[in-house]
Amino acid sequence: MNEKIQNRYAFSIDLLKKAGGIALSYYLNRNQLTIECKKGDKQDQVSIADKTVEAKLREAIAEKFPADGFLGEESGYAGLDSEFCWIVDPIDGTSPFLNGLYAWCISIAVLYRDEIVIGMVFDPLHNELFHAKLGAGAYLNDLPIHTLDPAENVQDGLVGLGMSHRVPPKTILPFLEQLLSEGGMYVRNGSGALSLAQVAAGRLLAYYEPHMNCWDCAAGMLLVREAGGMANNILANNGLLKGNFVLAAANQSTYQQLDLMRTI
């Protein structure tokens, strides 16, 4: 079985780099893109870049591993009961992408029998590929990465936050107030997947978002765990299709402190 996982792992690295080239080309010519709003929400945008990158990823995966399932943000899902299932976000951080900001990425995760075994986040602008395989550690390009150390509480680093209009503002306001009251500080860059990768790399202390879809966070959650951190189970309660809250932190103590803030 490890050979099957390794084959998908090696394939994913090459695939992400090719997809990153396509996405970067669109980014550099973004003024020519046609932009649509999902369900009338002007803060939830999609462009031909998202759709094309996902189509290329789905086509390549289907050709190489035709028996595998697929779940993508733009094109839906098929074969979720397959032994292996790919979870793809072609451009996480579409709003930063379309507005010429730097916080966007491509995210790929692979499930084996309902367990995340591969997680990759590629930032084409900075040529940074964060990648992890279950039980084998986490890496940034060729170098191993680890969560922030030492980290004893929220004052020891920056906490990444995410928010969407899928949940009401009151969902996150008590957490934000508690974080600031305890001497912590937050940042929001517009890409949850990239923020989770930065937790894994020790750049952020933690990341919290009240609700994320699985394609936004599956890869990043494995990255954090393989880098020595702690993260909740985003697949619980049918999280694969319904999404879940996301909390990932450098270690158990910071995770517990933030989880308490989340549930106050």
Total domains in the fold of the chain = 2
- Please name the residues in contact with 157: beta carbons below 8 A apart, sequence gap of 6 or more: 148, 151, 204, 205, 206, 250
What is the CATH number for 236?
3.40.190.80
Q: Which residues form the domain of 179?
A: 154-263
Q: Are 133 and 118 in contact (CB under 8 A)?
A: yes
> What is the chain's pLDDT, residue by residue, as a tens digit (264 residues)?
699 999 999 999 999 999 999 999 999 998 887 666 555 544 445 678 888 999 999 999 999 999 999 999 888 899 999 999 999 999 999 889 999 999 999 999 999 999 999 999 999 999 999 999 999 999 999 999 999 999 999 999 999 999 988 889 889 999 999 999 999 999 999 999 999 999 999 999 999 999 999 999 999 999 999 999 999 999 999 999 999 999 999 999 999 999 999 987
64 and 127 in a single domain? The answer is: yes
Determine the pLDDT at residue 257.
Answer: 97
61 and 162 in a single domain? The answer is: no
171 and 139 in a single domain? The answer is: no
Query: Which of 101, 118, 144 corresponds to the end of one domain?
Result: 144
Residue 15 tokens read as: 């695939």
Determine the pLDDT at residue 77.
Answer: 93
Is residue 93 included in any domain, yes or no?
A: yes
79 and 208 in a single domain? The answer is: no
Determine the pLDDT at residue 42.
Answer: 46
Angstrom distance (rounded) from CA 38 to CA 42: 8
Is residue 244 included in any domain, yes or no?
A: yes
Query: Which of 104, 122, 144 corresponds to the end of one domain?
Result: 144
Angstrom distance (rounded) from CA 89 to CA 26: 16
Tracing tokens 């969407």 back to the chain, one arrives at 164
126 and 94 in a single domain? The answer is: yes
Determine the pLDDT at residue 1.
Answer: 63
Is residue 228 included in any domain, yes or no?
A: yes
Determine the pLDDT at residue 165.
Answer: 84
Q: List phi, psi (to 5°) of 141.
A: 55, -115
70 and 109 in a single domain? The answer is: yes
Residue 30, CA distances (Å) to 64, 98, 114, 118, 162 in order: 30, 6, 36, 30, 24
Is residue 39 included in any domain, yes or no?
A: yes
Determine the pLDDT at residue 48.
Answer: 85
171 and 256 in a single domain? The answer is: yes
Is residue 76 included in any domain, yes or no?
A: yes
pTM to 2 decimal places: 0.94
258 and 158 in a single domain? The answer is: yes
Give me the torsion for CA of 204, 205, 206, 207, rounded to 10°.
-30
120 and 19 in a single domain? The answer is: yes
Tracing tokens 């952020």 back to the chain, one arrives at 204
Query: Which of 144, 166, 185 corresponds to the end of one domain?
Result: 144
Is residue 149 included in any domain, yes or no?
A: no
Is residue 187 included in any domain, yes or no?
A: yes
218 and 97 in a single domain? The answer is: no
Determine the pLDDT at residue 76.
Answer: 87
137 and 167 in a single domain? The answer is: no
Angstrom distance (rounded) from CA 158 to CA 242: 28
Determine the pLDDT at residue 36.
Answer: 60
What is the CATH number for 117?
3.30.540.10
75 and 179 in a single domain? The answer is: no
